[in-house]
Amino acid sequence: MDAIYTDIDRRACAVLRDLVDRGELPGGLVVESDIRSWHAPRAATVHWFAGVGGWPLALRLAGWPADRPVWTGSCPCQPFSQAGKRRGADDPRHLWPVWCERIAECRPPVLFGEQVASPDGRAWFAAVRADLEDLGYAVGCADLPAACAGAPHGRQRLFFVAHRHDAGQRPDRRVGAGEARDDAGRGVPARGAGPLGDGDGPCGDPPGSGRARGEAQAGRGRREDRRGGDPARAPGAGVRRSHAGSPWRYDTWVRCADGKARPIEPGTLPLADGVPNRMAQIALYGNAIVPQVAEVFVRAFMEAEEEKPWIT
């Protein structure tokens, strides 16, 4: 089944076409369009806000069947990001209500999404979960950093999955929309004891979680800086903790002007002044997900399917 990739950014669509032509992404049609004016066909795999193809790559890495319909999408994060103006629902880039309409029109059996893990992003997700539950979906979420896939940085994001109830048996219990909205005030993105938040407990940041470990490591780094230590020799600097297949296994650590050591891809020039193509790449990458993290999340959902027949 060929996929449909859709994005409003002409540069992103050009990248997508190139990646599809080269076989780096599953075959499909690239549609350059505004989500507010384009309606997807039914029974199709659609990658909304497709960017540079992070979600379809994650599905391929996770072993998602090519003939199984699925929707993916990462709504623009600028309205809810610390780096943006945080205008929230007043920002014209707040496109969840439009995407929700498209979901209601076609009712895909499974969809995956992602949002920045800020307080505003958590409140956004609480509303998203309530809307999806009203449409008849069971929803799970995990707060994951890029470091959980071996990347040398945080990039904390909320990853969520929604499974349509009538695509299989109905689960014994679902979290109500009222509970979802209440969670926004507590800063809780989802409920669940398992990796996807399956309805039995809060999805927070336990001491052993990636977020908690990342914060602890950041604290150690700050203490090292105060003692005047060499960041390049700080615990973990230049030491690869990821698995053998990690794309970051050959990172090069360089000392920056602020005295801190940061990893870069070997052969990468850290200066972009006067190189417009590279600036465009940086802009596209800045809006992208880390596919290896999404892969972890998709794999967790697929494993949950094997354990719980009601979501198959």
**pLDDT tens, the chain, 312 aa long:** 689 999 999 999 999 999 999 999 999 999 999 999 998 888 789 999 999 999 999 999 999 999 999 999 998 776 666 665 666 566 667 889 999 999 999 999 999 999 988 888 898 999 999 999 999 999 999 999 988 888 777 888 999 999 999 876 434 434 443 444 344 333 333 333 344 544 333 344 434 444 444 443 444 444 344 344 444 444 334 433 444 566 666 567 777 888 887 777 655 555 544 445 666 666 676 678 899 999 999 999 999 988 865 554
Strands, E, within the chain: which ranges?
Answer: 3-7, 28-32, 45-48, 71-73, 110-116, 137-144, 157-164, 252-255, 261-264
Rounded Cα distance, 205 and 13, in Å: 36
- Is residue 16 within 8 Å of residue 30, measured between CB atoms? yes
Q: What 3-state DSSP class applies to 279?
A: helix
Token match 């409140």: residue? 123
Rounded Cα distance, 298 and 39, in Å: 25
Residue 139 sits in a domain whose CATH number is 3.40.50
Residue 118 resides in a domain: yes
- Taking the model in full, what pTM does it have? 0.68
Q: Are 245 and 99 contained in the same domain?
A: no
Q: Are 253 and 168 contained in the same domain?
A: no
Q: Are 114 and 253 contained in the same domain?
A: no
> What is the domain extent for residue 105?
3-208+286-311
Residue 54 resides in a domain: yes
Q: Are 156 and 116 contained in the same domain?
A: yes
Question: Tokens in use for 102?
Answer: 């498209």
